[in-house]
Amino acid sequence: MTESAALTNDNTSLIAELNDTLRRDPLNSSKGQFVLSHAVANLNHQDRYYCIRAMVRFNDFTPGNDPYGERDFGAFSVRLSDGTTERLNFKIDYYDPSMKFLSEDPSNSNITRRVLTLMFASDY
């Protein structure tokens, strides 16, 4: 493995770890910002809880849904209180501290602000 490939693998592992930390504790604002789509935000309290809990517990990362190994996207289903099942996605984006531009280095938490969005698949 070349030095460049090793550095990339180390950065990818660190990005994945930072993303997992935010996804597992989305209400901790020191980890990043957590946003709900309008449709998810308008669910009743119990159903919002089910959706967030499913995202926090999500760990079904595969090469098919996580090709870069960053754990920045997930898709899953949740059964709501009315008995229907909804498909949801979460996505993590990386911004500079001003939130105006993309981060130059998502592995560096000092210059990266993470935004985790939870949405219905139909919102995407």
Mean pLDDT of each 10-residue bin along the chain, 124 residues long = 46 96 93 96 98 97 92 97 97 96 95 98 88
pTM of structure: 0.89
The tokens 């550095």 sit on which residue?
Answer: 7
Per-residue pLDDT at 1: 38
- Helix, strand, coil proportions of the chain in percent (round to 5)? 35, 25, 40
Per-residue pLDDT at 69: 95
Greatest extent of the chain over all pairs of C-alpha atoms, in Å: 54
Buried b (16+ CB within 10 A) or exposed e, 5-42: eeeeeeebebbbebbbbbbeebeeeebbebebbeebee
H helix or E strand, kind and range, residue 40: helix 38-41
